[in-house]
Structure 1
């Protein structure tokens, strides 16, 4: 079997401070990549830099277009991009405000557009191949209470992934997504705070379990690597079989 090896490659990971993003940075770093870690929480970047010496921290709120342009506009050559940053603002559909809607779309979808443009332009200018992975969710395909705005951003991400794959494919840039079920990170626990709802939801998964962070990271690594050289424009479900049921 081919071994994963990212030596000589530079990766950029957004939402790198916690959860899936943080573990993705740690594994990419261990596998030899130079990693740019983007988070809006500086304390998380400080601790991550101690854990992974050599990681390049960038502190910026990706919901702010101008600040993102300043922070990442001159990031330099990037070969691998993981668009993981997201906010899950939980409100019933009827109580979702303009602010909640705009914040959700600005962080979860618009930043993917912007950061991918910056990185892809650099790849094309250098004439090198690349791989972009968008961290989505199974709620791109199924509904979940109080996540109307969040789910719309992930549904939009499905089409953005396809559109990017189509337009960037001729430049040897692959674009895919991973679509996990609930992962019990800080964000996942926030979304599923009611233990009874959590129990019933888990039982609806054929595998009777949620996804581990490691499961999601492994799928990200597969899509970033040459092991998935002919895969583009698609999403890997890491959903414990949920969509099959």
Structure 2
């Protein structure tokens, strides 16, 4: 798919690090014009140097900032909602601040970005695609992930509603649900064999995902190769949920 996004613009939230950054690189290499939204200047500057993307600095926790960032991004062909965060808190100890942070970025911001993208696309005649990045945590119960799991499961439910309501306008909406993905932070977090080996034992493919594994699936769902795929959640977890 060397030229699969030639002439197309892709907005990517959370583009500064991890899966978002890998996706920005992946689609840029396939001729996409990327609009990268993130909250760290240094991440955006280095990504712009690597890919030539346009950058927008924004903290999507603030709904007004999220909406303004999307309006600044303008009309695009595709949107990847990759911005996400987590606050590790248990059921008995979770806080209102933790809830507001996790749900605000992982769910509310994604819905605002999808709404602004869809309004602009419909005004331009429709078409295009959205991919929401959810998580294995929306399907399996992991300790200390109460609000995170709620946000990701909620985004998958929203994905199906978005697919239904935006389909008549030619806009497809899907999600990818990564399992453990070796971003820089995750690689350190899962380096302890006592923690990682039980998860690996339940992963038939025998390894954890690299960020490029997820980025390639996001690109596939955005592309014309997935023209009849909408409302779907694609697990990218090496078969963890099958056993």
Q: Is the 8 A contact 1:203 1:209 kept in 2?
A: no
Aligned to 1:12: 11
Q: TM-score, normalised by structure 1?
A: 0.95
Moved more, 58-67 or 187-196: 187-196
Gaps of 5+ in 2: none
Distance 2:189 2:123 in 1: 41
Q: Is the 8 A contact 1:88 1:191 kept in 2?
A: no
Aligned to 1:130: 128
Distance 2:73 2:81 in 1: 15
How large is the RMSD of aligned CA atoms in angstroms? 1.5
Gaps of 5+ in 1: none
Count matched residues: 243
1:189 is displaced (CA, Å) by 4.0
* Residue 163 in structure 1 maps to residue 156 in structure 2: no
1:169 is displaced (CA, Å) by 0.3
Determine helix, strand or coil for the equivalent of 1:13. strand
* Residue 181 in structure 1 maps to residue 179 in structure 2: yes
1:208 is displaced (CA, Å) by 2.1
Distance 1:193 1:41 in 2: 26
Distance 1:186 1:105 in 2: 23
Q: TM-score, normalised by structure 2?
A: 0.96
Aligned to 2:108: 110
Deviation string 1:168-201 (CA, Å, 9 cap, x unpaired) is: 0000000000011100113434664754111211
Deviation string 1:24-55 (CA, Å, 9 cap, x unpaired) is: 111111111111000011110011111112x1
Aligned to 1:30: 29
4+ runs of 1 displaced by more than 6 Å? none
Q: Is the 8 A contact 2:56 2:73 kept in 1?
A: no
Distance 2:229 2:181 in 1: 24
Distance 1:195 1:41 in 2: 32
